[in-house]
Amino acid sequence: MTESTLRKRPTRGQYKLRIKGHLGDQWAGWLGSQQITHHADGTTVLTGDVADHAALYGLLRKVRDLGMPLLSLTYDEPNETHHLSRKER
């Protein structure tokens, strides 16, 4: 990867981690601001804002430490509203 490619990588944003199995709600505090959602297919989705790559790696380590297989990781870009002035329209 080139340096310019690395700079274009997303850092802050919302991530969704789908893991195999149902994670108990008692883990919510340990996972920080992640919302825990259980699905009928036997998976759990952790959803929340992640400040940067270091925080993301920390969250991934916690999932690894739980011993629950990570099925997917999805990044959602922050929703930034841009208002145009009359001159820009």
Position 45 in a domain = yes
The number of distinct structural domains making up the chain is 1
Give the model confidence (pLDDT) of 6-37 as tens digits.
555 556 789 999 999 999 989 989 998 899 99
The verdict on residue 84 lying in a domain is no
Q: Evaluate whether residue 29 is within a structural domain.
A: yes
* Domain boundaries, position 55: 11-76
Q: Per the domain annotation, does 20 fall within a domain?
A: yes
Residue 1 lies in a domain: no
Structure pTM?
0.73
| 36: in domain | yes
The token duo for 16 is 């969704």
28-84 pLDDT tens trace: 899 988 999 999 999 999 999 999 999 999 999 999 999 999 999 999 876 654 344
Does residue 23 lie in a domain region? yes
CATH of the domain at 55: 3.30.70.100
Identify which of 88, 69, 66 has the alpha carbon closest to the alpha carbon of residue 18: 69
| 19 within a domain of the structure (yes/no) | yes
> Are 23 and 36 spatial neighbours (Cβ–Cβ below 8 Å)?
yes
